[in-house]
Amino acid sequence: MQAGARVPRTLAIGLLVALLVAAPRAVAGEDDSAADLKARTYFVQGEFKQALEIYTRLYVETMHPTYLRNIGRCQQNLGEPDKAIASFREYLRKAKDLSADQRAEIDGYIAEMEQLKRSKASGATASSAAATSAPPPEARPAEPAPVLVGPPTVTAPRAEPADGGPFYTRAWFWVGAAVVVAGAVTAIVLVSADRSPTHGGLGVVDFRNNP
C-alpha cells in the first residue's frame, strides 16, 4: 500500500512541476502574439521604425527566422538597403523549409535593395561632380578705402577792378597813355629842331649904313 501510494504522489509532483514550467511559456507565447500583432499594426500604418523595434526584440527572445524577414521588410521601407540585405540573407540562411516562391520573393527584395544602393551611389557621385564643376562664387570687388577729408583749401580771390571790367577799359588808362604819347612827341620835336644862329632869327643887321 505504501509503495502504491508513493507512485501517485510522485506523479502528482511531476505534473505540478510540468505545469509550473509550462505556465511561463504560455504567458510568454501570449505576450509574443500580442507584440507581433502590435508590430504588424505599426507596419500597416507605415510606422516602420516602431515595428522594427518590436520585431528586433521578438527575434532576440525567440530566435525565430520569420522575425528576420519582418526586420528586413521594415529596413527596406526605411530606405536602409545595407541592413535590409543583411537581414534577408540571414533569413534565407536560417529558414530551411522555404518554398521556391518564398525564396524568389526574398531574392526580389534583395535585388531591389541592391538597385537602391546603386541609385544612392550614383546620386552621391553626381552631386559631388556637380559641386566640383560648379564655378566659384563671383568675387565681390573690394570696397574702396575711405578717403580722409581735410579742411577745405581757401584760395585768395584775384583782385578785380571796382566795376568788374578789365583795366584797359578804364578812362584813366587811356588818359595816362595819351599824356605819355604827347610827351614823347614833344621830346622828339625838340630834339630834332635847327639850333643854327640864323634859324628863326631876323638875320644879320648892319647898323653902319643907318643914319
Site of grid cell 612827341: 185
Is pLDDT of 27 > 70? no
| Cα–Cα distance list, 96 to 17, 33, 42, 105, 173 (Å) | 34, 23, 28, 15, 134
* Backbone angles phi and psi of 207, in degrees to 5: -85, 5
| Cα–Cα distance list, 64 to 22, 91, 111, 118, 156 (Å) | 19, 9, 24, 31, 107
pLDDT in tens, 184-198: 766 665 655 555 544
Average pLDDT on 21-43 reads: 73
pLDDT confidence of residue 167: 55
| Cα–Cα distance list, 26 to 22, 35, 144 (Å) | 6, 14, 85
Is pLDDT of 22 > 50? no
pLDDT in tens, 76-114: 999 999 999 999 999 999 998 999 999 999 999 999 999
CATH number of 8-127: 1.25.40.10
Q: Between 81-94 and 100-133, two packed helices, what is the crossing angle to 10 degrees?
A: 160
pLDDT in tens, 136-179: 666 666 665 554 444 445 454 454 444 555 555 566 666 676 76
Query: CA–CA separation, 175 vs 172, rounded Å?
Result: 5
Average pLDDT, the chain: 73
> Higher model confidence: residue 25 or residue 176?
176
Task: Please write down the HEC assignment for all residues of the chain.
Answer: CHHHHHHHHHHHHHHHHHHHHHHHHHHHHHHHHHHHHHHHHHHHCCCHHHHHHHHHHHHHHHCCHHHHHHHHHHHHHCCCHHHHHHHHHHHHHHCCCCCHHHHHHHHHHHHHHHHHHHHHHHHHHHHHHHHHHCCCCCCCCCCCCCCCCCCCCCCCCCCCCCCCCCHHHCHHHHHHHHHHHHHHHHHHHHHHCCCCCCCCCCCCCCCCCCC
Confidence of residue 123 (pLDDT cuts 50, 70, 90): confident
Any idea where the domains of the chain sit in the sequence?
8-127
Query: CA–CA separation, 166 vs 176, rounded Å?
Result: 16
Tally of residues, the chain: 211
Tell me, what amino acid is at 22?
A
